[in-house]
Amino acid sequence: MHTDAIAFIGLGSMGAPMAQNLLSSGMPLTVYNRNAARAEALAAAGARVTASAAQAVSPGGIAVTMVANDAALEAVTLGPNGVADTLGQGGLHISMSTVSPETSRKLAAEHAQRGSLFLSAPVFGRPEAAAAKKLWIVQSGSSQAKVRAKPVLDALGQGIHDFGEDPGSANVVKLSGNFLILSAVEAMAEALALVEKSGIDRSALASFLGQTIFACPIYQNYSQILAKRAYEPAGFKLELGMKDVRLVRDVAEQVTLPMPLADLLHERLLASLAKGRQALDWTGIELVSAEAGGLR
């Protein structure tokens, strides 16, 4: 049994099943979420619930954060009720959110000043993958942090892939992956519009592609969502997709890299937000292509 005191901060659509998996693995777990109602199921399963992030962590223990954005991560780490000061000497913060590499580097430095470790460990996978312990985890940080975090990460995913010691590297990898996923969504949306306007069934194309030349999880899963236009409930909200594309463009600008496809995705997301679609799944950018083609 894992004996470290573990705090899990952030119980959204991804965080809740991840925390449940840690609890089911026999790990002693304390949880905090801004909306306390999200913690009720975990409390019923045996987790301890606290009223603040700081109260959830133990000195020298492990804090796992899975929150929506950079501002939320900084708040639960360095804010008045954040985890950094309580975690202190000998502690470990595993950050699993999709955030900017600069935020991870800043938090790693803040933790180092307090004698604690920081590991960036964002994940690939939607809520159903989180529940099934099928997440792909990318990590970067010190070797000491990786060794201590391994039992926790093993309980959450199907594989851990390492990208060195720079705390921001895993975030760049995560942003790159999300850029590729949304690029595939846009390409599928345009292809589905093409066959639909040609009188061919959208679902037939999606099934064919997923079974043959694009037999991989992204095309298999996302093509079905697109074919059925199953954008509610959202597995990953469109407004969060916009946050990620903004981060991609920020990093690209920092390293002086033109990314014209990222600019197109930003346009699609912005048009979707202008139409009030922020709560739809990010695959809902397909509606922009459909409307442009007179299909809606």
Contact, 224 vs 211, CB < 8 A? no
The yes-or-no answer on residue 228 being catalytic is no
Instruction: Tell me how far apart the 2 most distant CA atoms of the chain are, in Å.
Output: 65
Contact, 66 vs 15, CB < 8 A? yes
Question: Which helix (DSSP H) or strand (DSSP E) does residue 205 occupy?
Answer: helix 202-211
State which amino acid sits at residue 229.
R
Give dist(CA 83, CA 26) in Å, integer: 23
Give dist(CA 247, CA 219) in Å, integer: 24
Sequence-distant (≥ 6) Cβ neighbours of residue 296 within 8 angstroms? 287, 290
Give dist(CA 183, CA 190) in Å, integer: 11
Three-state DSSP state, 53: helix
Three-state DSSP state, 159: strand
Annotated catalytic residue: which of 106, 146, 174, 243? Answer: 174
Strand partners, 77: none
Active centre residues (catalytic): 174
